[in-house]
Structure 1
Amino acid sequence: MTDVVTRFAPSPTGYLHIGGARTAIFSWLLARHYGGRFYLRIEDTDLLRSKQEYTDSILASMRWLGLDWDNAPVYQTQRTDLYNSVVARLLADRHAYWCSCTPEKVEAMRKAAKQRGEKPRYNGQCRSRGIGPGQGRCVRLKLPLSGKIVFDDMVKGHIAVDVSELDDMVLRRADGMPTYNLAVVADDYEMGITHVIRGDDHVSNTPRQILIYQALGLSVPRFGHVPMILGHDRQKLSKRHGARAVIEYRRDGLLPAALVSCLARLGWSHGNQELFSLEELVRHFDGTNLNQAAAAFDPAKLEWTNTRFMRDMPLENLAALVSPFVRETGFSVQPKARLVALCAMFRERAGNLLTLAENFRPLLVPAAELAVNKKDAAKHFTEAGKTHLRALTGVFQACDPFAAGKIEEALNSYVANSGQTFKQVAPPLRTALMGFMGGAHLSDIIAFLGKEETLARLARFI
């Protein structure tokens, strides 16, 4: 395939959600698979609804997902000269014309056509009037009087639309602002876009954009319209289905790799493989195997994917990702090896980074601040339980070196010599160390706490 250039073009009228994120992922993967370029364009011409905080959030979300872009982001509000030059070219070549019909008049035309049983549309009243610019006048594209617009969609296959289904669309509004279709064509051509992947809610725009390309004598990019993501009930995806903005998943401690892998599988497949690293996605995503049927988003599947990624990734990488969440809980774990040790102990018991960081808390607070589960304390801090804690105090004081292997050896020796079972000795010890009946392997917990803190915790509950 020749050089592939794709783009993602969000509007900063809200935060980036998973539907837009999936479109960005597909576009990014296609470009990276073929060694091409991927551009980011901010379509901010809706001046009333566009906000800088949304733009900042979109950029941050893209970076978090690992979707880097080539060159600086493009902003449509900074490209008015480009759009005006394209309109001027279409006017000069007589592929466009000035129209003085007011919105009210156009609406009346559409109502009249509908009453006659015809398609509601602008009737082309100003096509042949030869009027020029003026107050309240827009510019319209002069469509061919007959023919079909035909294109092969990467997802939906062969699509043909009769020109009679369309009307002479507005290219520039009476206020001087370009319409969506004009701006998109001008941008995509100027940026050298070869492939456009977007949601299938844009299918109706594609024939109109192709007509603009043809009027300008430009080559048309390849289009791929992916079905919208649905909820589990096959209805339009919303928050009630568990869908959230990408930035919210980040705050909740989801791994970006897990979200990318899960979203890539919504509408695309590679055999029966379920989990993909970013490198695997780049290797396999070539623009084929895109499904025509809409995929359903399952929050439980995303949680499962995230859990798998957390358990399978290198501990050093997991430690780097959880570190900011640990700091948010008010702790700093140094050196890095201690944070790695915590990850090794607790990652099997956490489904996200936020929970993982919270699980570290019992091992990071001093003995006096350890929160204790009252039921576990009442059940295990009996006279028999405290007798074990007193005896273990001496065992651990004598333990040298104070390392996991030696600690486990000493603990097992005590259990064997006490005439008790491990199930009798472990509960009071675990409750004293963790504050509840949970946590990792006892010898790992004790080694992490160190001798002084371990003895302090035992002393507190004796």
Structure 2
Amino acid sequence: MTTTRFAPSPTGYIHVGNLRTALMNYLIARKAGGTFILRIDDTDPERSKEEYVDAIKQDLEWLGLHWDRVERQSDRLDRYAEAADKLREMGRFYEAFETPTELDLKRKKQLNMGKPPVYDRAALNLSDAEKEALRAERGNGVWRFKLDHERIEWNDGILGDISIDAASVSDPVLIRGDGQVLYTIASVVDDTEMGVTDVVRGSDHVTNTATQIQIIEALGGTCPRFAHHSLLTGPQGEALSKRLGTLALRDLREQGVQPMALLSLMARLGSSDPVELRSEMAELIDGFDITRFGAAPTKFDVQDLFPLTAKHLQSLPLADVADAVADAGVPTEVAEPFWAMARENITTLADLKGWWELCRDGAEPLIADEDREFIAEAIALLPEGPFDGETWGTWTKDVKEATGRKGKGLFMPLRKALTGMERGPEMAALLPLLQVIRARG
């Protein structure tokens, strides 16, 4: 059975880059009728916060990305310790004591000699006595996985055939000196024991994948199918890394972005398929194909979300937005005609408040000097009300007969006088909702 996972670290709020990974894994699992695991990568006790665990769940629920089960890596430390012991017994795990400064000097020396800046495995030559002396002086060392220096190859779901020379990669650190288990081994153990069959993640993980394939094989596991999606850039191709903090999902939600607008964009962005607004998750699932995504950096513009949000809102019945309409102050008895009028003229639900204030309080009339007499005559012909859907047509017909004006010269000055705006909703729908018409004064 197809099993995928999303493994965020609870060290901050998830952003659009994280969402891309989560959504692809979710869609693969759901399309295959498989399992989607939410796996909290909380092996760093200093940086992991429970409030971020809660926030991750809230954001995924807001989007409708429902997981089948939750796993926490902090509950599985014994499994990682067992895997580490197994690697030690196999001679594939060794302790190293270099300081960050020493490692940096080694890298610079190798680069100056025209060699790849990989760890030189000096720790393998330490005697037991030398190790004891270093532990006494510096504390426990880090534990590195000893790579077999051969080519590591796999067929990537997006990038195609990948081949990496393990000799060009440093033996990865799997356990820090303070005992903290790092993602590289924790993920391997989890993926193997949880039966994960497909892993989609960012292209910045390609080298990690190469080393993890060797760790999986060393531990006797089965490698999942890997796919590495392109990284997002800004609309001009600029790096998004410094802006991701402002593209947190909860910030987008606060700005009024609708879940289906965001999902519709992210499920197609970077693929050969056009972005099309979908009304429900099932459509995204049915149309998803990981092989249609490309390797080139993918431009993301947050502004693209707002036309999609507006289009989505236009399709919704009152029942789906009743709370937002009520929050804008709209009385229940006019909620239906108000929503019918407003939904074609909003970008986000926050815009409802402004339209209701116009209906409730009226607008400052916008009247050109040459139209003042015309407006005064027209307003005198406006019936007292209450208004209905026929009032606008009847009134403008009377005004046309009385003044001789027609077309834009008739309708535009009336709209500006009643709403203070040059464009907006159909006046036949808006006029019955206007509780105050300042132009009367």
| Structure 2 length-normalised TM | 0.85
1:26 aligns with 2:30: no
Structure 2 partner of 1:157: 160
- Measure how far apart 1:158 and its partner are: 0.9
Structure 2 partner of 1:346: 342
1:173 aligns with 2:176: yes
1:213 aligns with 2:210: no
Structure 2 partner of 1:140: 144
Q: Percent of counterpart pairs with the same letter? A: 34
Aligned counterpart for 1:304 among listed residues 291, 304, 307: 307
- Measure how far apart 1:356 and its partner are: 4.0
Aligned counterpart for 2:79 among listed residues 77, 82, 104: 82
Structure 2 partner of 1:69: 67
Alignment of 1:261-340 (within 5 A): 261-270=264-273, 272=274, 274-277=276-279, 278-311=281-314, 313-316=315-318, 319-320=321-322, 323-324=323-324, 327=327, 329=328, 331-335=329-333, 338-340=334-336
| 1: CA distance, partners of 2:76 / 2:299 | 37
Describe the superposition over 1:237-256 as per-residue Cα deviations: whole angstroms up to 9, x where unpaired.
26779972222221111221
| 1: CA distance, partners of 2:369 / 2:258 | 38
1:231 aligns with 2:234: yes
Structure 2 partner of 1:447: 432
| 1: CA distance, partners of 2:4 / 2:65 | 12
Amino acid at match of 2:364: V
- Measure how far apart 1:38 and its partner are: 1.3
Amino acid at match of 1:228: L
- Measure how far apart 1:51 and its partner are: 3.9
1:57 aligns with 2:55: yes
Describe the superposition over 1:150-186 as per-residue Cα deviations: whole angstroms up to 9, x where unpaired.
1111111111112212333222112111122112212
Task: Say if 1:372 and 1:436, in contact at 8 Å, map to a contact too.
Answer: no
Describe the superposition over 1:91-133 as per-residue Cα deviations: whole angstroms up to 9, x where unpaired.
2343323445555555555455445543333333444768599
Task: Say if 1:33 and 1:286, in contact at 8 Å, map to a contact too.
Answer: no
Q: Which runs of 5+ in 1 are unaligned?
A: none
SS in 2 for 1:360: helix
Task: Say if 2:118 and 2:170, in contact at 8 Å, map to a contact too.
Answer: yes
Task: Say if 1:252 and 1:353, in contact at 8 Å, map to a contact too.
Answer: no
- Report the number of matched residues: 432
Aligned CA-pair RMSD: 3.3
SS in 2 for 1:193: coil
* Range that drifts further, 186-195 or 196-205: 186-195
Task: Say if 2:174 and 2:185, in contact at 8 Å, map to a contact too.
Answer: yes
Structure 2 partner of 1:184: 187
Task: Say if 2:400 and 2:410, in contact at 8 Å, map to a contact too.
Answer: no
- Measure how far apart 1:409 and its partner are: 5.5
Q: Which runs of 5+ in 2 are unaligned?
A: none
Structure 1 partner of 2:381: 391
In 2 relative to 1, CA 357–40 (structure 1 residues): closer, same or farther, beyond 3 Å? farther
Amino acid at match of 2:27: L
Task: Say if 1:90 and 1:96, in contact at 8 Å, map to a contact too.
Answer: yes
SS in 2 for 1:119: coil
Amino acid at match of 2:145: L
SS in 2 for 1:203: helix
| 2: CA distance, partners of 1:233 / 1:383 | 51
Structure 1 partner of 2:206: 203
| Structure 1 length-normalised TM | 0.81
Task: Say if 2:144 and 2:175, in contact at 8 Å, map to a contact too.
Answer: yes
In 2 relative to 1, CA 107–300 (structure 1 residues): closer, same or farther, beyond 3 Å? closer
Describe the superposition over 1:396-425 as per-residue Cα deviations: whole angstroms up to 9, x where unpaired.
36xxxx5324x3464255336535436676
Task: Say if 2:267 and 2:288, in contact at 8 Å, map to a contact too.
Answer: no
| 2: CA distance, partners of 1:392 / 1:103 | 81
| 2: CA distance, partners of 1:167 / 1:431 | 70
